[in-house]
Structure 1
Amino acid sequence: MNTVKTSTPMKPTMQMLCRLLDHLWVRGLCLAAAFGLGTGLAMSATANAPVSGAQALQQAVTEWVAQTQSVDPGVVDIAPLDSRLQIKSCQQALSMDLPFASKQTVRVRCAQPVWQLFVRVSVAGQAPAEPVQVADKPAEPAPQPRQVLVAAVPLQRGMQLSAKHVRLAQLDTPGLPVNVLEHVAQVMYAEVVRDVRPETPLRSQDIRPTVLVKRGQMVLLSVGQSTGFQISARVEAMQDGRYGEQITLKNRESGRLLSGMVKGPNQVQGL
């Protein structure tokens, strides 16, 4: 009886297993290489990340304070910046100085683009700056009362003033209005332009010269000195005139025109 011998196909199976192992090993190497490359790129990107304007500013201020005050940068503390500030990166070296007496405020300036910022700093172990002592100023003398003109009675608009309508009073200087009157003579031949209550200081804008000469009236013209040689004549006023104003006059007999200054009711001083 013939016996058929069968042999197990070991060789092909081993070849397939070896190829599978080779494939897995190569794939593992590729994955490892890819992982290493990705990690390296991430680290490189982190290392090369641009420094923000705020970070560059804080670093520059820290180094500047440490150098100017001869201290270690580790003891320099920068106050937090306002989060709303948009600090642009400076294209040139930052310029720093101390604009005030205290060393706790550093002024940082950039030329391109142009901006400046004040930064509060402190150095560990240093006492805060003492405020500057200002010498006491000598006390100013108390203001002295001032003698001014006030209304003695209620004054109504259009009223012609005289000495009986006003009086002198001592009032505190700080409470006085501007252009206050101080002499009774200032209200002579004057009229009120607005109502004024009693005891109210009179101002120059409260009065105006009253009309003492009216056009067409005959007035007395005086020429010369009242204490010496003087000539008087009756002439016609060619225009209205208030106290101190210069008006035109006419001699009716000769028809000649003259000029004079109003000095009182229907009284004119020749020029």
Structure 2
Amino acid sequence: MRQAALSELQDAYAQEPGRVEIDVASLDPRLQIPVCQEPLSASLNQHNANGGRVTVRLECRDDSPWTRHVAASVRIFQDVVISSRALARGSIVSAGDLSLREHDISSLRGQVIRDPEVAVGQAVRRAVSADTVLNVDLLEAPTLVKRGDTVVLVAERGSIAIRGTGTALQAGEAGKQIPVRNNNSNRVVQAVVTGAGEAQVIF
């Protein structure tokens, strides 16, 4: 039974990147389990790509069928992005702030980051210490325009572009639509943040 469970788990996690360690729990020797006259059928109750505690369902399908469940622990070691130094809240992450290290991802919470490029240019939601494994919940798009900032407004129609200035009435990150008061006309327009202190008017 343990071998059948191990084989099922090895097949299930064969395509996962990184190093996989599987530990199948020992069976209670007091269990009275009839010998199955057919090869056991094994299936994973739920596949967790990050590993952790799993259960394998074993079925005997001979003339006296039975079903048992075997517990196991799956540890998956992959290279993940960690902070190479302490980062203050709101810091913009650079390539020099990051490094890759092998870690057991089954013990981690959240969606870990495996590609440093995903983190570069993002802002840290809260302060983190050195050697912290980064996940997507720790990062956010940086605020490029703050409420009350003077921004460069760009209005484009075909090949014609008109530039002016306005006052942001709301903070925003890249791609966010915010209201901006045109400093010349005093009219409030909707604009999309395109860069630090820049926004494009929406017609």
* Residues 216/158 of structure 1: CA separation in 2 closer, same or farther (3 Å cut): closer
Change (3 A) 1:170 1:229: farther
Q: Find 2:161's aligned residue among 231, 250, 255.
A: 231
Q: Secondary structure at the match of 2:137?
A: helix
Change (3 A) 1:182 1:222: farther
SS at match of 1:249: strand
SS of the aligned residue for 2:96 comes to: helix
CA distance in 2, matches of 1:168, 1:268: 35
Which residue among 150, 160, 166 is the counterpart of 1:218? 150
Greater relative CO (CA pairs within 8 A, separation 6+): 2
Whole-Å Cα distance in 2 between the matches of residues 148 and 154 of structure 1? 17
Q: Partner letter of residue 246 of structure 1?
A: Q
The CA RMSD measured in Å over matched residues stands at 3.5
Alpha-carbon distance in 2 for matches of 1:253, 1:261 = 19
Letter in 2 for 1:255: N
Letter in 2 for 1:131: I
User: Which of residues 148, 161, 175 is equivalent to 2:93?
Assistant: 161
Among 35, 39, 42, the alignment partner of 1:133 is 35
For the pair shown, which has the larger CA radius of gyration, 1 or 2?
Answer: 1
Does residue 208 of structure 1 match 2:140?
A: yes
Greater fraction strand: 2
Equivalences, count: 139
Percent identity at matched positions? Answer: 25
Distance, in Å, in 1 between the alignment partners of 2:153 and 2:79 is 37
Deviation for aligned residue 1:176: 3.0
The TM-score normalised by the length of structure 1 is 0.41
Hey, what's the Cα distance between the residues in 1 that align with 2:109 and 2:87? 18
Is the alpha carbon distance of 1:223 and 1:148 closer, same or farther for their aligned partners in structure 2, counting shifts above 3 Å? farther
Greater fraction of residues in helix: 1
Give the match's secondary structure for 1:196.
Answer: coil
- Consecutive unaligned residues of structure 2, counting only runs of 5 or more, are 1-31, 44-55, 57-71
Partner of 1:176: 108
Distance 1:165 1:264, change over 3 A: farther
Determine if the alignment matches structure 1 residue 190 to structure 2 residue 122.
yes
Pick closer, same or farther for the CA change 1:132–1:229 going to 2, 3 Å.
Answer: farther
Distance, in Å, in 1 between the alignment partners of 2:89 and 2:140 is: 11
Residue 194 of structure 1 and its aligned partner are, at CA, apart by 2.6
**CA drift at 1:248:** 0.7
Structure 1: segments with no counterpart, 5+ residues: 1-129
